[in-house]
């Protein structure tokens, strides 16, 4: 082989490597660019020492802050204050809890019987603080237990201990729409 052919071969390899590198860089940026405008679906949970329900009210005794998290691919999470959570009813985005009230499941143990209680509710508006309790307006969607009559179940499950509340999603293309949260956040990446 002549030196001219060797130079041409090297040049072709170098050009090929540069082109491959460029394609690699571009392909790694594509998912990042695609995720920028993808809505994030935020889910929420909160724990309390107890939950007390009526047909129109949910009272969470000694409730902590809300834990917020997103689904794949980002898996972002963080702690949200009660005040910041309430702002989701007033956000200036197209989708707010005011427009589409969130569903929630309240789970815990009956304070009077040895049974697990599960209530499906719709949270009707922002909550208010009453001492160390949070109080939310609700509409009961379903309360049932296949082993008990509805009236027995409701009377046994109006007061639950070690309560957990799991709240439906809030979809937005930014971290929390126009709402600015004081959030201690992280991610699982």
Q: pLDDT tens for residues 70-128?
A: 877 777 888 888 888 888 887 666 567 888 889 999 999 988 888 888 889 999 999 99
For 56: left if phi > 0, alpha if psi spans -120 to 50, otherwise beta; the answer is alpha
CB 137 within 8 A of CB 54: no
Query: 24 and 43 share a domain?
Result: no
Domains in the chain: how many in total? 2
- Provide the CA 39 distance to its chain's centre, in angstroms: 12
- Supply the range of the domain harboring residue 75: 39-187
Query: 134 and 160 share a domain?
Result: yes
Minimal CA–CA distance to 126: which of 97, 160, 161, 105? 97
SS3 for 2?
coil
User: Is residue 40 scored above 80 in pLDDT?
Assistant: no
Query: 25 and 59 share a domain?
Result: no
Taking the model in full, what pTM does it have? Answer: 0.69
pLDDT for the residue 8 = 56
Query: 54 and 68 share a domain?
Result: yes
Which residues fall within 8 angstroms of residue 70, CB to CB, at 6 or more apart?
A: 40, 41, 42, 43, 76, 77
122-135 pLDDT tens trace: 999 999 999 989 99
Query: 8 and 57 share a domain?
Result: no
Query: 178 and 90 share a domain?
Result: yes
Query: 96 and 68 share a domain?
Result: yes
């Amino acid at each position: 082989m002549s030196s001219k052919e060797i130079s041409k071969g090297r040049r072709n390899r170098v050009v090929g490597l540069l082109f491959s590198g460029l394609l690699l860089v571009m392909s790694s940026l594509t998912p990042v660019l695609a995720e920028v405008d993808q809505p994030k679906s935020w889910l929420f949970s909160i724990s309390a020492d107890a939950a007390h329900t009526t047909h129109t009210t949910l009272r969470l005794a000694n409730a902590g802050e809300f834990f917020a998290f997103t689904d794949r691919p980002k898996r972002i999470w963080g702690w949200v204050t009660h005040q910041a959570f309430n702002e989701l009813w007033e956000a200036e985005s197209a989708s707010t809890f005011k427009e589409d009230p969130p569903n929630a499941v309240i789970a815990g143990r009956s304070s009077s019987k040895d049974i697990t209680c599960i209530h499906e509710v719709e949270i009707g508006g922002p909550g208010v603080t009453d001492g160390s309790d949070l109080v939310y307006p609700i509409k009961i969607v379903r309360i049932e237990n296949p082993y008990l009559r509805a009236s027995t179940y409701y009377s046994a499950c109006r007061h639950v201990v070690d309560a957990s509340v799991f709240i439906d999603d809030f979809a937005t293309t930014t971290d929390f729409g126009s709402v600015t949260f004081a959030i201690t956040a992280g991610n699982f990446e």
